[in-house]
Amino acid sequence: MIRINNLTFRYPDGTLALDSVDLNIHKGEFVAIVGKNGCGKSTILRHMNGLLLPTEGSVIVKGMDTSDTFSILKIRHTAGMVFQDPGSQFIGMTVEEDVAFGPENLALPAEKIQFLVNRSLRGVGMLEHRNHTPRTLSGGQKQKVAFASVLAMEPEVILFDEVTSMLDSNTRKDILDIIKKLHKNGTTVVYVTHRLEELVYADRLVVMDKGRIIHDGNPRAILSKENPVSFGFDLPPVIELARRLADENIIDSSLLPLSKEELREVLCQLM
């Protein structure tokens, strides 16, 4: 679905943000990308829908090269991006207008636009706010509307850049649950995060460091072998305990619990 070949990227000031990276993301995967601040997560994500173009190497999205100017609209349509701070993205006077903006640009029939807007707002639990002004919404609600705007474009891939970092834990859970459901329905998900608890739904974990990929594989296998503190995570007590239990062979490391719920389940099975 997304093929990154030998990608090197320098910002105009010369900063080397990505250094010869190879990464293939397959259709239907839920890939989480983690790593310390400044390791290149946002930079690689922005290459996946052509917001940034390679200094060297190539990025191919569903067969289209992001460096090919003629493909860029189609690429943006294929891979939608949800950002950390949705505040700056609003263009419409109402939530509904805002979400309709993308599909309107695709020149879809009015009925289809209305259908997509309603379905997307319902999907994120914001349908009853459709006539509100985006400015008056809470941070979490704004993030849900930004998310709905991407959904309304029916992208095959959604790229999430630390979208829950400014949200409270309830809203975080809402958003994660929506993403999990989308993934179940076939959407390919690339999810940048710095919260370990959010890896529960990922079927693949990519760890970056200084513009390179240092681990790529099953999240539980990686987290049971490597100390996540070295990836820039605070180690949550649950995972610290789970790692110790796995070290002592009390639990199977391939089933390493990543959340309180999962730990409870694993412990119950041991009783």
Ligand X SMILES: Nc1ncnc2c1ncn2[C@@H]1O[C@H](COP(=O)(O)OP(=O)(O)O)[C@@H](O)[C@H]1O
**3-state SS, residue 6:** strand
38 binds, among ligand X, Mg ion, none (CB under 5 to 8 A by kind): ligand X
- Measured at CB, which residue is nearest to Mg ion? 42
Q: Answer yes or no whether residue 41 interacts with ligand X by CB under 6 A.
A: yes
**3-state SS, residue 168:** coil
For the chain, give percent helix, strand, coil, nearest 5.
45, 20, 35
| Least distance from ligand X to the Cβ atom of residue 84, Å | 9
What is the distance between the terminal CA atoms of the chain, rounded to a whole angstrom? 43
39 binds, among Mg ion, ligand X, none (CB under 5 to 8 A by kind): ligand X
Candidate list 1, 43, 83, 245; residue touching ligand X; CB under 6 A: 43
Instruction: Record the tokens describing residue 156, joined without a space.
Output: 């095959």
| Least distance from ligand X to the Cβ atom of residue 120, Å | 27
Binding region for ligand X (CB under 6 A) out of 39-47, 73-81, 113-121, 217-225:
39-47
Candidate list 23, 25, 42, 238; residue touching ligand X; CB under 6 A: 42
Candidate list 13, 107, 186, 271; residue touching ligand X; CB under 6 A: 13
Backbone angles phi, psi at 74, to 5 degrees: -65, -40
Interface of this chain with ligand X, residues 118 to 147, rule: CB under 6 A: none
Q: Answer yes or no whether residue 40 interacts with ligand X by CB under 6 A.
A: yes
* Footprint on this chain of Mg ion (rule: CB under 5 A): 41-42
Q: Characterize the bridge pairing of strands 16-25 and 212-217.
A: unpaired
Torsion of CA 40, 44, 47, 51, to 10 degrees: -50
149 binds, among Mg ion, ligand X, none (CB under 5 to 8 A by kind): none
Cα separation, 141 vs 129, whole angstroms: 9
Cα separation, 241 vs 121, whole angstroms: 39
Q: Answer yes or no whether residue 15 interacts with ligand X by CB under 6 A.
A: yes
Residues contributing to the site for ligand X (CB under 6 A) = 11, 13, 15, 17, 35, 37-43
